Amino acid sequence: MHPAKVDRCRLGQLTDLPNIGPACAADLRLIGIAAPADLAGRDPYAMYAQLCAVTGHRHDPCVIDVFISITRFMAGEAAQPWWAYSAERKRRLASG
């Protein structure tokens, strides 16, 4: 869902989260996340690694940005577009 349309009071399904459409919701289900509440305490980088392992191929690193956006949102931060986290991801991966 577009971040501007997210309603924190209506988070019944994965597609109610910012930046999550049907395809990304399916990816989240592959790694055991069936509902927004399942994101509590999850590490977006570990989620990405798990997704790559489960599917057997490396996904676009922008998926990490999406995962950062939803884990932060579920931790109480405001909804942001996924690309708001691209620079942070690039810095972390460059230093790691």
pLDDT tens string 51-66? 999 999 999 999 999 9
Residue 37's pLDDT is: 96
Tokens 């998926």: give the residue: 63
What is the phi-psi region of residue 76: left when phi exceeds 0, alpha when psi lies from -120 to 50, beta otherwise? left
What is the DSSP annotation of 13-36?
Answer: SGGGSTT--HHHHHHHHHTT--SG
Backbone angles phi, psi at 62, to 5 degrees: -65, -20
Residue 52's pLDDT is: 98
Exposed / middle / buried, residue 35 (Cβ in 10 Å: 0-12, 13-18, 19+): middle
For the chain, what is the largest distance between any 2 Cα atoms, rounded to a whole number of angstroms? Answer: 37
The residue ranges of the chain whose pLDDT is under 50 are none
